[in-house]
Amino acid sequence: MYSRDQENRAAIISALDASGARLTADQFSATPPPKNTPTFLSMLIPISGSQHVTLKYIDEKIKAAGCKFEIFRLIRKSTDNRNPYGFNGCVAAIIDHFYQLNYFDANYSLEQIFLAYFEYTGNYIPKFSTFMSEFRQDNSYLKHRDMLKALNMNKLN
């Protein structure tokens, strides 16, 4: 049922895109945002008592893995207003990898974390519903996931 719902949402967004209508991820999210929308930083599990330390640790690991994007900054779009090639998969791999290692509060869904990430950085991924249903098959996701896995990081307790 969830899969069918995602397909329907992707079809509706695609039709709206074709007609020129615009929806934000918040307006068409599979999981409604909480009433008091938490920040991306507040979703991180604190290391040494600070979410800033957690973010710095994640950023250091991203660099150590060899990721070419600085995902916690506003990314420069191409001339046709697209994200650089591989950026979406890179973001997905990083957030998903650290989500699976318990660096994010388990009370938040992966989708909520992505939406908070967009708010935090100003970045966005067009056709978000389609992205959410397909990102684990993306070549950039797979490449960046493997780069991060090679670091053999431990889960947070």
- Specify if 157 maps to a domain: no
- Specify if 105 maps to a domain: yes
Side-chain-side CA neighbours of 37 within 13 Å: the count stands at 15
- Specify if 74 maps to a domain: yes
- Specify if 44 maps to a domain: yes
> What would the pLDDT profile of 99-138 be if each residue is shown by its tens digit?
999 999 999 999 999 999 999 999 999 889 999 999 999 9
> What would the pLDDT profile of 62-95 be if each residue is shown by its tens digit?
999 999 999 999 999 988 889 999 999 999 999 9
Q: Cβ-count burial of 8 within 10 angstroms (0-12 exposed, 13-18 middle, 19+ buried)?
A: exposed
Q: Considering Cα of 87, then 90, then 96, then 101, what sign does the dihedral take? A: negative
Range of the domain at 13: 2-149
- Specify if 156 maps to a domain: no
**In total, how many domains does the chain have?**
1
- Residue 13 has a pLDDT of 65
CB 144 within 8 A of CB 93: yes
